[in-house]
Structure 1
Amino acid sequence: MNIIEELKWRGAINQQTDEEGLEKLVSSKSISLYCGVDPTGDSMHIGHLLPFMMMKRFELMGHHPYIVIGGGTGSIGDPSGRKTERQLQTMEQVQHNVDALSAQAKKIFASENISMVNNYDWLSKISLLDFLRDYGKLFNINTMLAKDVVASRLESGISFTEFTYQILQSVDYYQLHKNHDIQLQVGGGDQWGNITAGIDMIHRIEGQDTEVYGLTIPLLLKADGTKFGKTAGGAVWLDPEKTSPYEFYQFWLNQDDRDVIKYMKLFTFMTQEEIGEYEQKLAAAPEKREAHHKLAAEVTKFVHGEEGLKSAEKITEVLFSGEIKALSVDEVQQAFNSVPSAEISSEPINIVELLIEAKVDSSKRQAREDVTNGAISINGEKVRDVQTTINPSDSFDGKFIVIRRGKKNYFLAKVN
């Protein structure tokens, strides 16, 4: 099975510029290919994960992927997927994001066979006159206007800056092809117009017989029809400071039964045989959620490493058992990052007063009822006496008190 057949089985291909030609090419030799990411922020999110995992799959089958960090294009702004003009970032912010994304990509996709480049290195060296003469002359305005990404913006308006983005991305492909013999660009479905523009430009310069190709990944929708990758709290980031390994693990663990096998194919490196086994387990005993746990473990390990996975699994087990005291301070921060929180003083405090200060209850009467009814647990231990005094220094290095009301409602008191 060649890489294209593998990607088809996984459901990872949306469009190809020349399906037959590309499959013939990758079957005959090792190729170089690339995928880019613009530094619009200082972390990638799981929407970036699929194309870069595709890069990894190519590498594992003997090909040479390039990750392009868009220090140049990122300073301009891609109009794809937007209804309004982007707010330009300062060059200092762009550089900060470039450094952060480069470090993140190296950590996750580190390999001797995966190269990383920054398109600022060549785009910044092109003068305005050279841009207009060498590249602008190759683009027909009518063709550019017909591209979906531009056509969708004509009513609301698009600046000349964003209008020229497709030329800059085309220059990327040309430069990478000329200097690194790259023959394939991979991107999201919204990049189709930019990818085909690059191929057209290379054909104009190098000739129509030049073998360059484009491939896009599908737009992922969940079984309920909503967009994949979003949660109530926003994007799921690859940066552990923005989305903790535990939150990341939980995102995958809580996927719909109908989506789990699809995501296994797309986001893990498990074999067809392994995935087939979990598909059977899911069908036979969905309540055991074995496929969910396997999916969560595989993706978390890939992004956050063995330590990140161990921490996520430990927190999950502790919260299920209620043994809160087994968590470290860092694990408490991970586990309760998104629960309601309030700051309290470091002085010992009566349980009823604590529930009010931590905003667990809105009145002393309700707080006393919750305590006497056995609804309140402090750091995993039930408290039934309204005269109980809680000393913040007794647990978690005096930094946190974890309060649970009922079975599932957690609150975090942060000691200042």
Structure 2
Amino acid sequence: MTSALFDELSWRGLISQTTGDDDLRAAFEAGPLTFYCGFDPTAPSLHMGNLVQLITARRIQNYGHFPLGLVGGSTGLIGDPRMSGERVLNSSEQVAVWVDRIRSQVERYLDFECANAARIVNNLDWTAPMSAIDFLRDVGKHFRMGRMLAKDTVATRLRSDEGLSFTEFSYQILQGMDFLELNRRYGCTLQTGGSDQWGNLTSGTELIHKVNGADVHALATPLITKADGTKFGKTEGGAIWLDPDMTSPYDFYQFWINSDDRDVDRFLKVFTFRSREEIATLAESTAAQPQARQAHRVLAQDVTTLVHGEDTTAQVIAASTALFGRGDINEIDEPTLAAALSAVGVLELDGDLPNIVALLQRSGLVTSNSEARRTIAEGGANINNVRVTDPDHVPVMTDLLHSSWLVLRRGKKSVVGIKVKY
């Protein structure tokens, strides 16, 4: 079974660089091996870029290998050097809180019950007891300045006006030490990560070779980009987070459903567990009926279910259709309804509600009262998916969804949320 893993990762476009394709393929075939991927708590949640690593780790586990999910309690206190400039150092108390949050997110994607069960580790466990002198003598002595200065991020930052602090410069030593420690404790022989981490990945392979003469492996996945040239995992509102309180499941689903046609096949390979045959069939159906957007819907449903669960995804899909008159709007829970309406726009009102003509005009769905009356006469005004034909109609308390909301729609596609405060 493991002999097909390298080919599977390659077909899905998940191999950018390795320490040796043939050696890694042989290691997979000889398995099971133990591998790890690290996640630093430099924010309260993981984001879309981390999702590539989480899913890749699960794919490797599914082929019988043993995953270690490393949460960087120590490396999170420093932060991996960025091309854009020096990171803000967070307090140890804040990082400790984020460690717990990131740990719970990582645990969602790995299997802890199977024969090759996953394990969560924290690099603070082996760095906290180490003195600065021990660190320099036992670990630092194996690193050469020339190699460290040649790393892409380091070289770029050194050429910048801001430069690079020694704190961030030392990050690659800490990550290299992680690999060495996991090799000693668990026999770990593979580290995975994004291609922007390649210098840090090889810091570990080189350190292990110098310390005990062993050859271990590194696998870097490519950075995911979008066909239109914009950065993957970003919207006008900022990063797409895995935490539902930071990016609502509705917005998360919409990110995927609105994927560029040119990206969908690639995203299905990277972010879903659909087989080659299933993805090929989706590509054929999309080519035959592009207006149905079947591949987009499968992509959005699969990834949202993976991250937020089946029940939440069902609510999101229901909201996506019900807002535009194709479902029962009363069945949508309030958080999902609020997120969906925030995406289309919300008019907040205090006190008693005005009539439908005033609502249409004040919401911006029409530009004048006369246009509102014409819309009503033509059958184009709806409140909560119920057509309103009387221009003097005034919504009442029992019309409010979750005691606060109205969904006001003009025609098929123009929707505004009304939030009522009493």
User: TM-score under structure 2 normalisation?
Assistant: 0.91
User: What amino acid is the match of 1:248?
Assistant: F
User: What amino acid is the match of 2:178?
Assistant: D
How far apart, CA to CA, are the structure 2 residues paired with 1:296 and 1:361? 30
Q: Structure 1 9/322 Cα, relative in aligned 2: closer, same or farther at 3 Å?
A: closer
Q: Structure 1 371/231 Cα, relative in aligned 2: closer, same or farther at 3 Å?
A: farther
Match of 2:178 in 1: 172
Match of 1:102 in 2: 103
Q: Structure 1 121/367 Cα, relative in aligned 2: closer, same or farther at 3 Å?
A: farther
> Do the aligned partners of 1:38 and 1:71 also contact (CA within 8 Å) in 2?
yes
How far apart, CA to CA, are the structure 2 residues paired with 1:74 and 1:342? 41
> Do the aligned partners of 1:318 and 1:326 also contact (CA within 8 Å) in 2?
no
Question: Please, which moves more after superposition, 31-40 or 330-339?
Answer: 330-339
Unpaired runs of at least 5, structure 1: none
> Do the aligned partners of 1:348 and 1:392 also contact (CA within 8 Å) in 2?
no
Match of 2:364 in 1: 361
Q: How does 1:257-406 map onto structure 2 within 5 Å?
A: 257-323=261-327, 324-354=329-359, 360-361=363-364, 366-374=368-376, 376-406=381-411
Deviation per CA, 1:232-276: give whole Å up to 9, x if none. Answer: 222222112222323222222221222211111111111222222
Aligned-residue Cα RMSD (Å) equals: 2.1
> Do the aligned partners of 2:183 and 2:189 also contact (CA within 8 Å) in 1?
yes
> Do the aligned partners of 2:58 and 2:109 also contact (CA within 8 Å) in 1?
no
CA positional deviation for 1:362: 10
User: What amino acid is the match of 1:331?
Assistant: T
- Once superposed, which parts of structure 1, at least 4 consecutive aligned residues long, lie more than 6 Å away? none
Match of 1:89 in 2: 90
User: What amino acid is the match of 1:222?
Assistant: K
Deviation per CA, 1:281-337: give whole Å up to 9, x if none. Answer: 222222222222222222122112221222122222323435534433233123223
> Do the aligned partners of 1:176 and 1:182 also contact (CA within 8 Å) in 2?
yes
Match of 2:204 in 1: 198
CA positional deviation for 1:102: 1.2
CA positional deviation for 1:9: 1.0
SS of structure 2 residue aligned to 1:131:
helix
CA positional deviation for 1:85: 0.8
Match of 2:193 in 1: 187
How far apart, CA to CA, are the structure 1 residues paired with 2:15 and 2:255? 24
User: What amino acid is the match of 2:263?
Assistant: D
User: What amino acid is the match of 2:268?
Assistant: M
CA positional deviation for 1:42: 1.3
SS of structure 2 residue aligned to 1:215:
strand
Deviation per CA, 1:328-383: give whole Å up to 9, x if none. Answer: 32331232232322432243433455456xx52399x7245324423543222344
Q: Structure 1 371/186 Cα, relative in aligned 2: closer, same or farther at 3 Å?
A: farther
CA positional deviation for 1:96: 1.5
How far apart, CA to CA, are the structure 1 residues paired with 2:16 and 2:122? 26
Unpaired runs of at least 5, structure 2: none
- How many residue pairs match? The answer is 410
SS of structure 2 residue aligned to 1:221:
coil
> Do the aligned partners of 1:372 and 1:385 also contact (CA within 8 Å) in 2?
no
> Do the aligned partners of 1:376 and 1:406 also contact (CA within 8 Å) in 2?
yes
Percentage of identical aligned residues = 42
Match of 1:252 in 2: 256
CA positional deviation for 1:152: 0.7
SS of structure 2 residue aligned to 1:331:
helix
Q: Structure 1 367/184 Cα, relative in aligned 2: closer, same or farther at 3 Å?
A: farther
Match of 1:64 in 2: 66
User: What amino acid is the match of 1:344?
Assistant: L
CA positional deviation for 1:162: 0.6
Deviation per CA, 1:130-162: give whole Å up to 9, x if none. Answer: 111111111112221111010110123111111
